[in-house]
Structure 1
Amino acid sequence: MSVRKNFSMPDKVAEDLEYLSKKLDKKQSQIVQELIEEKMAEYEKEKKLEALEEISGMFTGMFPEHVNIQWIKANSDN
């Protein structure tokens, strides 16, 4: 499904969009769509990294500093 949108933009941005459209042989709407998708992918990646950093901070101080995966493996019964 497609939705029609009407945008206002500075002349320079409109010229750049037209240039990219010709250079890449794509419709202007396709250029805008791809750029929005790229930005959203970046934003989602940042959100996931922030959530991961927040979660990893929850474990800070839970184990002594000398304890790491290698130490756990070396000291496990398996």
Structure 2
Amino acid sequence: MQLPQVGDALEAGKVCGEIESTKSVSDLFSPVTGVVSAVNDLLTDSPESLNSDPYGSGWIFEVSGGAVGSTLTASEYRAAIGE
């Protein structure tokens, strides 16, 4: 797993890291433009929390100073994918 570092400047929609599974490596895209203010380093040892608890212990990183205008809330996303 390759995550951005605290202090990295991110741009919405651009690759900011990689997540590796047993079958593939996927790019991680930043949802907003801003500066990384925190990174969940526990994912390095426990990446399964990305799937088991994505809204709790599976958080990936926090971004400060970014505009959030075009992102969806969790409930909006569930509605968009038909859950």
TM-score bracket, shorter-length normalisation: under 0.3
Q: Kindly indicate which of the two structures has a greater share of residues assigned to strand.
A: 2
Greater C-alpha Rg:
1
- State the TM-score, normalizing by the size of structure 1: 0.23
